[in-house]
């Protein structure tokens, strides 16, 4: 029940088709109720939430609040759980995630990329692959969900190589004040610096696209609390124009990628992205071309956009 778990809870509480029956987190139930009611980014929740011991009542529905450190101590079958949304990050290997199945759940959807033996399926790209019906699925991360669609569309023209720099709001994996960290830069005060960090995005993209050895990635954490901007430089295989590229994404946004990819020419800043449900918002005003080199800018809300795709997965399995 971190940032992603609480966002999912808020969004699913009143869903007519999907029901949250239980949550599990080590924090005190009263503290969790407080964090669900009051959020520093998205504001106070207008939905009434009642907490009594280890149970929430939301929109007339009862939700069990568990505090188990080990999945093996949970009986998901007792709650008739169809899907566990595994948002702790602690059960991202296939062997660990499978403990939810042993505990009685029918499926597990991670909120991260997961280990290489778990199918990596991006909603809107390859989610209809037969592996999409597997018991354990990784929907990728927010950066992968943004980048995959962009590179896939561009590779229809032909990509020689791509450099991706994801400018991303700081996260809980960083430090509030300078502290020790195995990645020295991650240990620096998040709100005081622009901080480059190592990411595994290139490896994820190479699993999804025929671009092995042609992708390099880095993320730069910036002192804002929400939102991200993908700064993508692509060397194309043939001559292109700004108008051609913008037309490609504008058409995709209105057709096969509707609801996943958005195209705009409005002069956006990161604050404008908050609450946007798309995985990527192409900023057509900032597209530029020099020879065969393309610069593309895409925005995304790393919490709201990402949880939108996780909810899409739940609806896909529910159909």
Distance CA 155, CA 142 (A): 20
Query: Which one of 87, 142, 146, 280 is the catalytic residue?
Result: 142
Which pLDDT value is given to residue 21?
A: 97
* Alpha-carbon gap, residue 131 to 81, rounded angstroms: 21
Q: Please report, in range form, the residues annotated as the binding site.
A: 3-4, 25, 111, 302
Show pLDDT as tens, one digit a residue, over the chain (319 residues).
999 999 999 999 989 999 999 999 999 999 999 999 999 999 999 999 999 999 999 999 999 999 999 999 999 999 999 999 999 999 999 999 999 999 999 999 999 999 999 999 999 999 999 988 899 999 999 999 999 999 999 999 999 999 999 999 999 889 999 999 999 999 999 999 999 999 999 999 999 999 999 999 999 999 999 999 999 999 999 999 999 999 999 999 999 999 999 999 999 999 999 999 999 999 999 999 999 999 999 999 999 999 999 999 999 999 8
The answer to whether the CB of 279 falls within 8 A of the CB of 124 is yes
Residue position matching structure tokens 């830069």: 185
Residue carrying the six token digits 């929109």: 59
Does residue 3 contact residue 172 with C-beta atoms inside 8 Å?
yes
User: Could you tell me the residue ranges of all domains in the chain?
Assistant: 3-140+307-318, 142-302
Unique residue bearing structure tokens 């009862």: 62
Alpha-carbon distance of 241 to 294, in angstroms, equals 9
pLDDT at position 319: 85
Tokens of 253: 């946004």
Q: 3-class DSSP state for residue 88?
A: coil
Which residues participate in the annotated binding site for NAD(+)?
A: 3-4, 25, 111, 302
Both tokens of 14, joined, read 């009143």
> How large is the C-alpha radius of gyration of the chain?
20
Q: pTM of this prediction?
A: 0.95
Pairing, β 215-222 against β 261-264? unpaired
Does 142 participate in catalysis according to the annotation? yes
* Topology at the third CATH level for domain 3-140+307-318: Rossmann fold (3.40.50)
What DSSP character marks residue 210?
S
The 8-class DSSP code of residue 286 comes to G
Secondary-structure class of domain 142-302 per CATH: alpha beta
pLDDT of 132: 85
């Amino acid at each position: 029940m971190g940032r992603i778990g609480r966002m999912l809870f808020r969004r699913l509480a009143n869903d007519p088709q999907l029901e949250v029956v239980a949550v599990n987190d080590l924090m005190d139930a009263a503290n969790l109720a407080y964090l669900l009611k009051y959020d520093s980014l998205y504001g106070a929740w207008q939905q009434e939430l009642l907490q009594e011991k280890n149970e929430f009542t939301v929109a007339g529905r009862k939700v069990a609040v568990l505090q188990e450190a080990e999945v093996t101590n949970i009986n998901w079958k007792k709650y008739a759980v169809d899907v566990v949304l595994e948002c702790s990050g602690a059960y991202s290997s296939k062997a660990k995630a499978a403990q939810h199945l042993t505990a009685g759940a029918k499926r597990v959807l991670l909120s991260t990329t997961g280990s290489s033996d778990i199918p990596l399926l991006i909603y809107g790209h390859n989610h209809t692959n037969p592996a999409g019906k597997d018991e354990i699925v990784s929907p990728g991360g927010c950066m992968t969900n943004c980048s995959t669609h962009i590179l896939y569309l561009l590779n229809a023209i032909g990509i020689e190589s791509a450099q991706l720099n994801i400018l991303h709001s700081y996260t809980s994996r960083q430090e509030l004040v300078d502290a020790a960290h195995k990645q020295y830069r991650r240990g620096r005060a998040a709100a005081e610096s622009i901080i480059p960090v190592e990411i595994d995005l290139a490896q994820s993209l190479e699993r999804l696209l025929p671009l092995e050895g042609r992708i390099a990635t880095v993320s730069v954490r910036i002192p804002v609390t929400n939102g991200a901007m993908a700064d993508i430089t692509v060397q194309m295989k043939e001559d292109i124009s700004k108008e051609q590229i913008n037309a490609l994404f504008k058409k995709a946004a209105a057709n096969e990628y509707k609801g996943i990819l958005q195209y705009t020419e409005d002069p956006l800043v990161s604050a404008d992205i908050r609450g946007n449900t798309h995985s990527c918002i192409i900023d057509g005003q900032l597209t530029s071309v020099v020879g065969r080199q393309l610069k593309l800018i895409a925005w995304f809300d790393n919490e709201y956009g990402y949880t939108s795709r996780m909810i899409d997965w739940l609806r896909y399995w529910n159909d």
